[in-house]
Structure 1
Amino acid sequence: MAYQALYRVWRSQRFDDVVGQKAITQTLKNAIVQKKTSHAYLFTGPRGTGKTSAAKIFAKAINCKHSVDGEPCNECETCLAITEGRLNDVIEIDAASNNGVEEIRDIRDKAKYAPTQADYKVYIIDEVHMLSTGAFNALLKTLEEPPQNVIFILATTEPHKIPLTIISRTQRFDFKRIGTQDIVEHMAYILKEIGVSYEEQALYVIGRAAEGGMRDALSILDQTISFSDEKVMLADAMQVTGSLTYEMMDQYIGYCVAGNVEEALETLESILSSGKEARRFLEDILLYCRDLLMYQQAPKLLTEKVGHLTENFKELSEKTDAEKIYQLIQILSDTQNDIRFTNNANIYLEVATVKLAKTVRKPVTALETSGASPVDSGELTVLRQQMELLQKELAEIRKNGVSSKEAEPVKQAPRVAASRNALRMPTERVYQVLNEATKEHLLNVKNVWDDLLQMMSVTQRAMLRASEPVAAGPNGLVVAFDYEIVCGRAMDDNDMQLAVHNNLSRLANYAPNLVCITRESWPKLRQSFISQGKETGEGKTVELEAISSEDEEISLLPEEQQNNSNQVVDEAVAIFGTELVEVIND
């Protein structure tokens, strides 16, 4: 038989074999034992974490006649047929290549027929997020009310692409990234079973390069075994993964911390010339700096994750300040973002190396070497003198017995004035909306406002609950917020404004641009707009109901109030006459 890759040979066949997903496997086993299985499951998580393997194990366990504690026996004809992929009642579908409506309709039609060889017909749809919108809609009704003895298991690495209507009809299990220690232990077990010698540190290098995926780890291990002639050695694992040895990183970071720019650049050149890839180099150095910080705070925890640590690493961690390590990580992180869109990554690495070596150890000295002029020290002296004067004045106030109540208004008045002037209202944008405002648009928004709130995220909903739509036109919507601080955040929150725009389009076929103001400023803006129209003689005809949601007292302008009051007076004179009568209560 042809050679099979390790990840295929050692694919999990029992729930207990699935590495690093104890909570999920235990839940599924209990559901099978208690006969409380659902009709649809959604397995999500990063690649290589056991989603499809768990789905096949579940299909075997629920159909196995000799199941013990929810585990399949893997010896009966049903289990063997499912393992070999020849049981007609367990259907695996790749949604990436079968993502059309016709394929899903075919599944829906065939699902109506009872299973022929097993107790349950199980559909495993891998990469389900690749289905088209029409295919998801075709699947909805079947997921909601599936035929008896039919189970759907959907697996995906990108759950955010799946419609909420699908997710709500399934039991969701989130597979997490597998820890480095669990990966190392599983690889060690496999190597002992196949009789291959290894160095433990090599397994840690492979485990970290796998980034939480067991399939990736076994693929790299397979590659390393082939490269090293049936042995897994540290040097070979470093060569295959493109990782840096701890000695290389000790030397490079050591020169950077010591401020030896020339030595650090020479070390970088040596590393890159040996074939190390720039992006991989940055990842390794970032992890190394993270390890330096972790070793200062939790040395035992780091030893469990990494394994062997060099003496130079321990010495470097002990003598390097945490603040210095923060600065190193920040520079490396910025460089990692910079090289994503460039073909000259080495240039950015050289610049980053100079920055790392020039970064001083203490924040205080950083201020002194950051180009501060002599004026800064003079300003500092002036501030100190002012502080001394303030302290003297405060002592005199205490001696004179000035109460805190008398001093309070003096302190609060500037704050109130500052807060009122802090937020600037978008007057021109409000006027543009009011120019086109109609009562129909405002009522349309108010009718769906509660539904709109339910479609927003928790944070966005909290902001909009303290607001109210007060004017609406074909292209804009004015929303008044109860609190100035909430209004300011809403102005800066582009995601929230876009969400309002999109969700109103779905609910009311109306997609306005959001204009945020405070409730306190709304009457003034409205009155100013109408007054401006009268002064310019433009004859703007704007319905009061279309641009106001306030009480009638607020919505009336002073002139309108005067006209109404004159009408009331005229009616009273007509009824009671003009003579004044004084009423004296007993």
Structure 2
Amino acid sequence: MSYQALYRVFRPQIFADVVGQEHITKTLQNALIQKKFSHAYLFSGPRGTGKTSAAKLFAKAVNCEHAPVSEPCNQCSACKGITNGTISDVIEIDAASNNGVDEIRDIRDKVKFAPSSVNYKVYIIDEVHMLSIGAFNALLKTLEEPPEHCLFILATTEPHKIPLTIISRCQRFDFKRITLQAIVGRMEKIVETERYHVQEGALDIIAGAADGGMRDALSLLDQAISFSGDELTIDDALLITGAVSQQYIGKLASSLHEQNVTSALETLNELFQQGKDPAKLIEDMIFYFRDMLLYQTAPDLEGVLEKVKVDEEFKNLSQQIPAPVLYEMIDILNKSHQEMKWTNHPRVFFEVAVVKLCQGAKTDSLSANQSEVDRLMNKVHQLEQEIEKLKTAGVSISTTSNQPKEPSRSPKSTKSGYKAPVGRIHEILKGAERPELERLKGCWGELLAQLKQQNKVSHAALLNDSEPVAASSRAFVLAFKYEIHCKMVAEDNNGVRTNLEHILEGMLAGRRDIVGVPEAQWGKIREEFLQEYQQEDSEAKELKDEEDPLIAEAKKLFGAELIEIKD
């Protein structure tokens, strides 16, 4: 074929082309310059983030005729041969189709032979997690002590499936999802090089649909250019990716806020007539409200927004919808999204969710209806008049009561979407120590800094309104101001709890399990524990104070000073 796909034509040929992975490329370049590279590397991360490309670049750089260099020259015979695949000393193996013991034994037998045309023999094993247990065992010894002329680079999208004995023998590099801005910047260079005409905003839509993968973005761009012809427009990009424009999502969100069910269903039907997927549409709505919530909390951090481009319509709507209503909308849409997975008619669940949001009681407990407020105020006014009449008639009115206050039970009647694990919290409180809590609070700022370094700004945003309140040597209780944040951490959404526990394990030299609790529930749980603990302590004291009747009788007969009690 004379035509090649864009992701093949523009495969990175130097480390500078591997966008979004500067923390990895800089480390590899320094190792190449200083000649301190390892015998085995493990590249892990999502698809299309540059794992195999970085492996090939490393193979070229280490075998470049001008080595040591930080970038392959791509001009010498070694660099050209590795790029064209004509040098047999750089072997790329697909572990998905060569996952047996025999293939790995063949590598083990041939690895001892010196390279024929370059300085180092490099084995690039892609999707290494597909190897069988026997193949991993056959690879162990060779991977631990390969010949000086041999390098191994393992690439995988699922590192948790690789045995720890293999991981411990490699230098591990975790490739992260590429940011939206980095993907758009790379595509702009490609479009400029190929002299394609692209409408402003179209590349943003394609980058958003790529989900952090550069290869997916270039494949979608290739497809969109083939469809559009002379100029790639926003409408073409929306049609190819199946995405929905922010204008439609904003219109639907406004209808939901105004509780205009007719307008909401008309907008929804129009989108379905365009062939939009209900599951993808409801996911876009969830991210829209999520971005609106984060924008309300931290308007200066536009980098944490996933899908939304901040415009005047978005700003105005974010000022109108209060945060509690956003929590309720996200919760209802998320439940409908989960139910869609088990039905053949996902559209029905979306429409039911829209009707529920427009006509349900979502705002009854969050933003009281004005007529309801007026009714309650009239009732209070009537009661005040009755009290004045009683006082005029000479009846004494007492404002205090010896009876327990019933309103204290009102929190029990409030339905909560998340129930804290009381038993687990009590276990932590029994082993809680003040030094452990102080130690944990001391490293909390460093934890937030590491999250920002990992570009986990959304994870850091969840922790802004949280505080450790009790800690033992194995776990700690984290109190959240908002219940939805506590629920997200408890359910490990986007791996937030796993990531936090992993970072804390490195900082505290030991694993600490996170148990979340809303602030509204924390005070009651703590009070119940203290009452239970005091009761057990008093019972133990009473048992200790009870004296054996035989000892008491002996003291009467012989005197307490002559009695020695031994257990």
Residue 530 of structure 1 aligns with which residue? none
Amino acid at match of 1:324: V
Residue 103 of structure 1 aligns with which residue? 103
For 2:273 and 2:356, how far apart are their aligned partners in 1? 21
For 1:362 and 1:67, how far apart are their aligned partners in 2? 70
1:389 lines up with 2:389 in the alignment: no
2:246 and 2:308 in contact (8 A); partners too: no
Deviation at 1:224, TM superposition (A): 0.7
For 1:245 and 1:352, how far apart are their aligned partners in 2? 20
1:67 and 1:73 in contact (8 A); partners too: no
For 1:303 and 1:199, how far apart are their aligned partners in 2? 23
Residue 286 of structure 2 aligns with which residue? 286
- CA distance change for structure 1 residues 266 and 194 in 2, over 3 Å: closer, same or farther? same
- CA distance change for structure 1 residues 185 and 307 in 2, over 3 Å: closer, same or farther? farther
- CA distance change for structure 1 residues 386 and 267 in 2, over 3 Å: closer, same or farther? farther
Residue 58 of structure 1 aligns with which residue? 58
- CA distance change for structure 1 residues 125 and 223 in 2, over 3 Å: closer, same or farther? same
Deviation at 1:84, TM superposition (A): 0.9
Amino acid at match of 1:302: E
For 1:386 and 1:226, how far apart are their aligned partners in 2? 83
For 1:390 and 1:206, how far apart are their aligned partners in 2? 68
Deviation at 1:367, TM superposition (A): 11
Moved more, 153-162 or 297-306: 297-306
2:340 and 2:346 in contact (8 A); partners too: yes
> Is the partner of 1:292 in helix, strand or coil?
helix
- CA distance change for structure 1 residues 317 and 112 in 2, over 3 Å: closer, same or farther? same
Residue 331 of structure 1 aligns with which residue? 332
For 2:14 and 2:101, how far apart are their aligned partners in 1? 34
Deviation at 1:198, TM superposition (A): 1.3
Deviation at 1:337, TM superposition (A): 1.1
Q: Which one has a bigger Cα radius of gyration?
A: 1
For 2:147 and 2:265, how far apart are their aligned partners in 1? 67
- CA distance change for structure 1 residues 361 and 147 in 2, over 3 Å: closer, same or farther? same
Deviation at 1:132, TM superposition (A): 0.5
Residue 412 of structure 2 aligns with which residue? none
> Is the partner of 1:88 in helix, strand or coil?
coil
- CA distance change for structure 1 residues 66 and 94 in 2, over 3 Å: closer, same or farther? same
Amino acid at match of 1:84: N
Deviation at 1:295, TM superposition (A): 2.9
* Pairs within 5 Å for 1:212-251: 212-251=212-251
* Pairs within 5 Å for 1:417-428: none
> Is the partner of 1:341 in helix, strand or coil?
coil
1:46 and 1:177 in contact (8 A); partners too: yes
Amino acid at match of 1:78: A
- Aligned-residue CA RMSD (Å): 3.4
Residue 165 of structure 1 aligns with which residue? 165
1:323 and 1:362 in contact (8 A); partners too: no
> Is the partner of 2:201 in helix, strand or coil?
helix
Amino acid at match of 2:285: I
For 2:134 and 2:368, how far apart are their aligned partners in 1? 59
Residue 199 of structure 1 aligns with which residue? 199
* Pairs within 5 Å for 1:345-494: 345-358=346-359, 360-361=362-363, 363-365=365-367, 388-389=400-401, 462=474
Moved more, 237-246 or 263-272: 263-272
Deviation at 1:386, TM superposition (A): 12
For 1:116 and 1:387, how far apart are their aligned partners in 2? 98
> Is the partner of 1:348 in helix, strand or coil?
helix
Residue 474 of structure 1 aligns with which residue? none
Deviation at 1:2, TM superposition (A): 1.3
1:315 lines up with 2:336 in the alignment: no
1:90 lines up with 2:102 in the alignment: no
Residue 20 of structure 2 aligns with which residue? 20
1:145 lines up with 2:159 in the alignment: no
1:201 and 1:307 in contact (8 A); partners too: no
> Is the partner of 1:81 in helix, strand or coil?
helix
For 1:386 and 1:188, how far apart are their aligned partners in 2? 77
1:246 and 1:310 in contact (8 A); partners too: no
Q: Note the residue ranges of structure 2 that are not aligned, 5 or more in a row.
A: 384-396, 406-421, 428-470, 476-561
Amino acid at match of 2:245: T
For 1:369 and 1:355, how far apart are their aligned partners in 2? 21
2:291 and 2:308 in contact (8 A); partners too: no
Residue 430 of structure 1 aligns with which residue? none
For 1:12 and 1:386, how far apart are their aligned partners in 2? 82
Residue 183 of structure 2 aligns with which residue? 183
Cα deviation digits, residues 62-88 of structure 1 (max 9, x gap): 010224642110110100111111111
Q: Under a length normalisation based on structure 2, what TM-score does the superposition of the two structures give?
A: 0.65
For 1:369 and 1:320, how far apart are their aligned partners in 2? 20
Deviation at 1:182, TM superposition (A): 0.6
Moved more, 294-303 or 187-196: 294-303
Deviation at 1:285, TM superposition (A): 1.2
Deviation at 1:193, TM superposition (A): 0.9
> Is the partner of 1:72 in helix, strand or coil?
coil
Amino acid at match of 1:346: R
- CA distance change for structure 1 residues 233 and 174 in 2, over 3 Å: closer, same or farther? same
For 2:129 and 2:120, how far apart are their aligned partners in 1? 24
Residue 41 of structure 1 aligns with which residue? 41
Cα deviation digits, residues 506-565 of structure 1 (max 9, x gap): xxxxxxxxxxxxxxxxxxxxxxxxxxxxxxxxxxxxxxxxxxxxxxxxxxxxxxxxxxxx
- CA distance change for structure 1 residues 118 and 177 in 2, over 3 Å: closer, same or farther? same
> Is the partner of 2:344 in helix, strand or coil?
coil
For 1:388 and 1:180, how far apart are their aligned partners in 2? 62
For 2:338 and 2:65, how far apart are their aligned partners in 1? 55
Residue 73 of structure 1 aligns with which residue? 73
For 1:367 and 1:144, how far apart are their aligned partners in 2? 70
Deviation at 1:389, TM superposition (A): 3.2
- CA distance change for structure 1 residues 131 and 270 in 2, over 3 Å: closer, same or farther? same
Residue 514 of structure 2 aligns with which residue? none
For 1:23 and 1:140, how far apart are their aligned partners in 2? 28
Residue 259 of structure 2 aligns with which residue? 259
Deviation at 1:145, TM superposition (A): 1.1
Deviation at 1:309, TM superposition (A): 4.0
For 2:240 and 2:301, how far apart are their aligned partners in 1? 27
Amino acid at match of 1:330: D
Residue 539 of structure 1 aligns with which residue? none
* Pairs within 5 Å for 1:123-134: 123-134=123-134
- CA distance change for structure 1 residues 364 and 231 in 2, over 3 Å: closer, same or farther? closer
Moved more, 209-218 or 1-10: 1-10
For 1:174 and 1:163, how far apart are their aligned partners in 2? 16
- CA distance change for structure 1 residues 14 and 323 in 2, over 3 Å: closer, same or farther? same
- CA distance change for structure 1 residues 152 and 461 in 2, over 3 Å: closer, same or farther? farther
For 2:402 and 2:85, how far apart are their aligned partners in 1? 83
Deviation at 1:148, TM superposition (A): 1.8
> Is the partner of 1:212 in helix, strand or coil?
coil
2:328 and 2:362 in contact (8 A); partners too: no
Residue 455 of structure 2 aligns with which residue? none
For 1:109 and 1:72, how far apart are their aligned partners in 2? 30
For 1:386 and 1:324, how far apart are their aligned partners in 2? 40
Deviation at 1:300, TM superposition (A): 4.6
Aligned residue pairs total 396
For 1:309 and 1:153, how far apart are their aligned partners in 2? 42
Deviation at 1:246, TM superposition (A): 1.4
For 1:216 and 1:168, how far apart are their aligned partners in 2? 31
- CA distance change for structure 1 residues 337 and 304 in 2, over 3 Å: closer, same or farther? closer
